[in-house]
Chains A and B, each alone.
Chain A
Amino acid sequence: DAGVTQSPTHLIKTRGQQVTLRCSPKSGHDTVSWYQQALGQGPQFIFQYYEEEERQRGNFPDRFSGHQFPNYSSELNVNALLLGDSALYLCASSLPHRGNNEQFFGPGTRLTVL
Chain B
Amino acid sequence: DQQVKQNSPSLSVQEGRISILNCDYTNSMFDYFLWYKKYPAEGPTFLISISSIKDKNEDGRFTVFLNKSAKHLSLHIVPSQPGDSAVYFCAASEGNNNDMRFGAGTRLTVKP
- Chain A residues packing against B (C-beta within 8 Å): 4, 33, 40-45, 48, 56, 58, 90, 92, 97-108
What are the residues of chain B within 8 A of A101 when measuring CB–CB?
34, 46, 49, 96
- Chain B residues packing against A (C-beta within 8 Å): 4, 6, 9, 32, 34, 36, 41-46, 49, 89, 91, 93, 96-105
A97-B104 in contact given A42-B91, A90-B43 (Cβ < 8 Å) = no
Whether B43 and A108, one on each chain, are in contact in the complex, defined by CB atoms closer than 8 angstroms, is yes
What are the residues of chain A within 8 A of B6 when measuring CB–CB?
42
Whether B44 and A105, one on each chain, are in contact in the complex, defined by CB atoms closer than 8 angstroms, is yes
Select one of A33, A42, A44, A56 contacting B105, CB under 8 A: A42
Whether A100 and B32, one on each chain, are in contact in the complex, defined by CB atoms closer than 8 angstroms, is yes
Whether B89 and A45, one on each chain, are in contact in the complex, defined by CB atoms closer than 8 angstroms, is no
Assembly CA distance A43 to B104 (angstroms): 8
Whether A100 and B93, one on each chain, are in contact in the complex, defined by CB atoms closer than 8 angstroms, is yes
Assembly CA distance A97 to B102 (angstroms): 20
Whether A100 and B96, one on each chain, are in contact in the complex, defined by CB atoms closer than 8 angstroms, is yes
- Return B62 CB to nearest CB of chain A, in Å: 13
**Chain A residue at smallest Cβ distance from B43:** A105
What are the residues of chain B within 8 A of A102 when measuring CB–CB?
46
**Chain A residue at smallest Cβ distance from B105:** A42
Whether A41 and B96, one on each chain, are in contact in the complex, defined by CB atoms closer than 8 angstroms, is no
A90-B44 in contact given A42-B91, A42-B104, A43-B89 (Cβ < 8 Å) = yes
Whether A40 and B104, one on each chain, are in contact in the complex, defined by CB atoms closer than 8 angstroms, is yes
Assembly CA distance A100 to B31 (angstroms): 12
What are the residues of chain A within 8 A of B9 when measuring CB–CB?
40
- Return A112 CB to nearest CB of chain B, in Å: 16
A107-B42 in contact given A42-B103, A42-B105, A56-B98 (Cβ < 8 Å) = yes
A100-B34 in contact given A45-B99, A48-B99 (Cβ < 8 Å) = yes
**Chain B residue at smallest Cβ distance from A31:** B97
Assembly CA distance A19 to B100 (angstroms): 25
